[in-house]
Structure 1
């Protein structure tokens, strides 16, 4: 049990005693440590219901509070109850954390299944800088949910079907360079696609591409073989990037996986009256149950509110993203028994997901559907990050640049590092820097991609955090014998070590809150605060030069801090080197 949960339990008992009926109360970490460690506004909330004076009710609650061995309590302002944890309670809790493999994190998600849909690049196209946000945010949310005890299914819903394949197959048949394909498959597929795009207005080209697409959709063996080669080459290229990012998927169920479900789905929507024909197309319209301002199928124009339907079958018989995504939800709810389905996709797709979730719910596919949206990555000019030619910046190029810059910074800081070890550390630091730059932001904000800030050894960066972990582990390399933290008695006397224990206790409190609004930045902020607290502690409290039993106590605090930092960074998808 966390200290927060312990306080809430004791406060609830006091409230029940004061009110004469069962009651619960929320306790939060104090924003200002001058007033204590935790606080509750329960007295102010309940005073209105009970028609009592808030401060008088707060005093009544405190009089019935049993806090022995845990904390002291006092009243502030109009009726806040402030709690200050006793150093002895922090010491006991720290000792428990040292023996806990989970570092005080409760397994709150047991028995629930979450599908996380993230990354989802298109086949035969290179991943670009825009894929950073979905891939890295989705991976971190999956890691956190898994650590909290949820059954997590990570699904890469790749774009492996659609009109572009008519052009790619035409390009394959007329412009393919086999040698180039063997050397760099995705680059060659992009080249032939662009080649066809450049000549698409020439007589007969578009018709030829459409004919190839029709053959593919009809199951033509030759075109299916070309399509499969495109899939295989693209997956191999994408897997190299995912391996480098240490991002793992349980499934790669792309759009093509659901092809056989699309026609029956449309038929069912028509039969159940969930959709109807309009100008030859099959569309989902508003069912009139929502206010127009909240209805995803209504839009306000100059002449008033008008229909804004979702098309699930075009007049020519073709299907759209909405159809495929509905089939995907059907599969995830019926086959995977998902309780939650999270889509980590950018803000521009907001309307699509509002319509999708509404249609799925009306269809009877109930679950907690969430569009985890995010903003854009900007260049130093505060415009969308592009190459000089105006194209999207490639993700591979971003990672290469990060690792190269990390290598230079590490060589300047520690020239003794050479060869394979230097290369491995540069990889860890460079990739970690890119990830932390992303995850330390509120996902809804646009942010500027700055190399210098990202790779700095000071400030709010991954290298600073990785160096903090390295610095802690270097303490233990100076010991003559291995140190066992579980045997140490914890003594907290100095304010710096009390504050470090305070932050270590909050790891188990912070982690569950990350999933409340899908905010990995809360974890990023936490590990930064923990690292800063450690550096203050290390400056104020001698460790190796301290006398026993203080020496062992401080070593145990160091060990617990390094474990917590490493675990926190791991949940952000960031590795830590042994040296830097």
Structure 2
């Protein structure tokens, strides 16, 4: 990118003048405190020379040979400040227009990142907590893809869990006539069965027998469980599609147990780090022992059982095996078949006893989007991988943890059914209704409905993503739909404003080396930061940086628009250049909103 080249040129000039290595000089360059870019090189020299950094900054600034892109160099206190030439700003602007939606995109890497989300149990609809998981996973996948990774969106389906057994028992013995959306119907049925499970012994026995048959497989109950799980997930995916969320592959736990499990157990047993317990309460089990000075070694029982004495795996054991497959350490014996056709002509595939070989898994990086309550189990997986001498894989396994979501009325529980009326579907429907009430445009009803869908979903997405994932969210409509700022609709409207300005002119935007104002320079510098912000977001797994960046762009564009008339500019060259700045803003703002999954309407 042009901005990076300018930074490299300045770093080279600083290195020569300060007599420090180029790499070290590059690390001192930052967005300008008093200029367009600044260097902290004087601080570095001051530590070694024991001299005043402000005095050194003055000396270095006088020695610097200005690159062509720099108009002026001056010291201010301990900082060396660089002011770009008008031709440099014009070049930056031209590059944005030329690259369009590819502006800021990282070079293609020969690396795959698996992002696992949202992994909702296949017996209920998504509630707002699940939605936060899905939106985080979707944004991270989009961002890693933008940064050059091959992003594989994976959904883990726990079709062998107790909750699914309870739902299946109820389906087979209590009520098998679904009404309405299947996941919502199944979820409400589950609430009743879960209550009976706590109170009635015959229900407990029936559910336990059902679960045993599911785990054994190759019987009618196991087939019914798989069929019910698939129907539920397909209904959940209708919710996903309404939010613009798609997947590449679904991995069912039943297929893990019947395809990968034996190979995984053998690999674990062959490891020197896994030993066979011969006495005590863990006799007959295969476990990992953590050293006394480790985080887990200080616990009362430092042995972590992976395989029980009966040959079955505990959750940690199954998770370790699954992640060994993710990183390509177990042969991919899965077969895959189409699961569902998604909008945009893509297909989500699922693991299946019948199917074809396909290239899933074998990742260079793995991200698990899982609630904060799973922080300890996720740490255990990392530590076990380290003990198994998979240190590189352990380092590349990341847990994106997130806190709960609540409405002002309170939080949700799947078992107690407190989510009823507060599903992701309910939230989106209410958003559409509220947006429809506010649409003042005289447009056909079909367009009104489309605007309400895009803006309503955008309001929810931004409200969920603008907050750091470690912080709890209390969702409030008055904040989500606020048109004055800090909301999805505010950002979508900023984009619409750029498009409206461009529609009013028949001239072609062109970047010329005019005398750029401070507001124009500030906006252009902001637009160059998209690659830096997206890289940070991918590195830290933190989409809230994108949210703040989009707000900063909108704020800077508002200042530019207020101080720099576009259509009424004083000359043709200024007018075309300001049209180009408006076009560049629409490009970068759209790219940024897309990384959060927000669509950009043409009119609002």
**If the length of structure 2 is used for normalisation, what is the TM-score?**
0.85
Distance 1:258 1:40, change over 3 A: farther
Contact 1:440 1:525 in 2 (8 A): yes
Distance in 2 (alpha carbons) for counterparts of 1:258 and 1:220:
14
SS of 1:238's equivalent in the other structure is: helix
**1:535 paired residue number:** 558
Distance in 2 (alpha carbons) for counterparts of 1:194 and 1:281:
38
Distance 1:439 1:376, change over 3 A: same
**2:196 paired residue number:** 199
Distance in 2 (alpha carbons) for counterparts of 1:158 and 1:452:
35
1:283, CA displacement in angstroms?
Answer: 5.5
Distance 1:227 1:103, change over 3 A: closer
**1:83 paired residue number:** 82
1:65, CA displacement in angstroms?
Answer: 3.1
**2:465 paired residue number:** 439
Matched, 1:571 2:595: yes
Distance 1:65 1:141, change over 3 A: farther
For 1:549, which of 573, 590, 601 is the aligned residue?
573
Deviations 1:413-462 (A, max 9, x none): x1513411000000000000111011111222223211111011111111
Distance in 1 (alpha carbons) for counterparts of 2:499 and 2:183:
42
Q: Which runs of 5+ in 1 are unaligned?
A: 300-305
Distance in 2 (alpha carbons) for counterparts of 1:159 and 1:317:
20
**1:374 paired residue number:** 402
Deviations 1:222-254 (A, max 9, x none): 112211221221121011011111111111113
Contact 1:44 1:54 in 2 (8 A): yes
Distance in 1 (alpha carbons) for counterparts of 2:413 and 2:267:
44
SS of 2:81's equivalent in the other structure is: strand
Distance in 1 (alpha carbons) for counterparts of 2:20 and 2:41:
15
Contact 1:457 1:464 in 2 (8 A): yes
**1:520 paired residue number:** 543
Distance 1:108 1:270, change over 3 A: same
1:315, CA displacement in angstroms?
Answer: 5.0
SS of 2:599's equivalent in the other structure is: coil
**2:282 paired residue number:** 279
For residues 383-398 of structure 1, the aligned pairs below 5 Å read 384=411, 391-392=418-419, 393-398=422-427
For residues 309-458 of structure 1, the aligned pairs below 5 Å read 309-315=303-309, 317-334=311-328, 336-365=361-390, 366-367=392-393, 368-380=396-408, 384=411, 391-392=418-419, 393-410=422-439, 414-458=440-484
Q: Which runs of 5+ in 2 are unaligned?
A: 333-360
1:51, CA displacement in angstroms?
Answer: 5.3
For residues 159-308 of structure 1, the aligned pairs below 5 Å read 159-178=158-177, 180=178, 183-200=180-197, 201-259=199-257, 260-276=259-275, 277=277, 278-280=281-283, 282=285, 284-288=287-291, 291-292=293-294, 295-299=295-299, 306-308=300-302
SS of 2:88's equivalent in the other structure is: helix
1:541, CA displacement in angstroms?
Answer: 1.6
SS of 2:75's equivalent in the other structure is: strand
Distance in 2 (alpha carbons) for counterparts of 1:522 and 1:2:
23
Deviations 1:71-96 (A, max 9, x none): 3333344x333333333321221122
Deviations 1:293-320 (A, max 9, x none): xx24543xxxxxx225443234555433
For residues 99-178 of structure 1, the aligned pairs below 5 Å read 99-102=98-101, 104-108=103-107, 110-178=109-177
Contact 1:275 1:282 in 2 (8 A): no
**If the length of structure 1 is used for normalisation, what is the TM-score?**
0.89
Distance in 1 (alpha carbons) for counterparts of 2:236 and 2:256:
21
SS of 2:115's equivalent in the other structure is: strand
**2:3 paired residue number:** 3
Matched, 1:511 2:511: no
1:21, CA displacement in angstroms?
Answer: 5.2
Distance in 2 (alpha carbons) for counterparts of 1:314 and 1:407:
57
Stretch deviating more after TM superposition (254-263 or 530-539): 254-263
Distance in 1 (alpha carbons) for counterparts of 2:234 and 2:575:
52
Contact 2:112 2:150 in 1 (8 A): yes
**1:302 paired residue number:** none
Distance 1:45 1:100, change over 3 A: same
**1:40 paired residue number:** 39
1:128, CA displacement in angstroms?
Answer: 0.9
Distance in 2 (alpha carbons) for counterparts of 1:434 and 1:174:
39
Distance in 1 (alpha carbons) for counterparts of 2:31 and 2:113:
32
- Give the alignment's Cα RMSD to 1 decimal: 2.7
Distance in 2 (alpha carbons) for counterparts of 1:565 and 1:37:
21
Contact 1:175 1:192 in 2 (8 A): no
Deviations 1:150-196 (A, max 9, x none): 11111111222223333233222211232x25x33223323443333
Distance in 2 (alpha carbons) for counterparts of 1:470 and 1:165:
46
**1:26 paired residue number:** 27
